[in-house]
Amino acid sequence: MKISSVKLVYFSPTGTTKKVLEGIAGGIGIEDIDHMDMTRQDARSKPLDHLTDALVVIGAPVYAGRLPGDVVKRFKHFKAQNTPAVVVVVYGNREYEDALLELSDLSRDLGFVPVSGGAFIGEHSYATADLPIANGRPDEKDLEKAAAFGAGVIKKMTGIKKGEDITPLKVPGNFPYKQAMPSVSGSPITLADLCTTCGTCAEVCPKAAITVNDTVETDPDLCIKCCACVKECPTAARIMDIPRFKDVAKWLNENCSHRKEPEVFI
């Protein structure tokens, strides 16, 4: 099959999924790359049925072994017409459980034909310098693997004559999927003495849950605990202070420090 353009479609609050997708695109080696960043609250999904000769790479982080609820909501208006897709999940070195299967199934429901899949590792959203969990990932080695994966995918695509010849993608995971994480009210807090009210937290929040005037206000029911505001704050004024999440970070640091490697299904 002829592929002349690549579209990267992703939800990536702390940027690791985006980085992995860019690494994969590098390996695919086609110059015409278009980004459809679905991270912001005002991002709109569009029908993608006009795409010809395109390969779509769809990426999402893993939240509690599943796709974040917002991925399902934001991606649901994509309407593809048998466009080949590469499905990719990025997780924080614990497990990806049913997330890759869920993304593969979702892509099929939207009209894509999933051709290949991958599970990569990204720095955990709850990692800090004191409690590292996959800090700095995806690193150089991960991005080399992402590029090699991209090269493998394009080789596979050029070997396929027509869409019907694509063998159905099989990825790990169980259906029914594991139960989704119940939503918990709460959010990171702002340390007033460090905060300059620069507004970065509000800009990067994928839920538009933060308002900055003289102080920073966060809607605890809208917050999805993605930690984009914590990671992006230029003065380290945002911290995740919810006891339950601090305990999770401690547990992950103690139990999920052994380096996992990306898995790909070409």
Q: Which residues contact ligand FMN (rule: CB under 6 A)?
A: 12-17, 61-65, 90-95, 122-125, 225-227
Cβ burial, residue 23 (10 Å; 0-12/13-18/19+): buried
List, in order, residues 6 or more apart from 254 with CB less than 8 Å away: none
**Shortest separation between residue 266's beta carbon and ligand FMN, angstroms:** 22
User: Alpha carbon of 100 to those of 68, 71, 117, 188, 221: distances in Å?
Assistant: 12, 13, 8, 28, 27
Nearer to ligand FMN, 13 or 173 (CB): 13
* Strand-pair category, 112-121 with 83-91: parallel
Nearer to ligand FMN, 114 or 206 (CB): 206
**Shortest separation between residue 31's beta carbon and ligand FMN, angstroms:** 24
**Shortest separation between residue 120's beta carbon and ligand FMN, angstroms:** 8
User: Which H helix or E strand runs over 78?
Assistant: none
Nearer to ligand FMN, 12 or 83 (CB): 12
**Shortest separation between residue 55's beta carbon and ligand FMN, angstroms:** 20
Query: Mind spelling out the 3-state secondary structure of 42-62?
Result: CCCCCCCCCCCCEEEEEEEEC
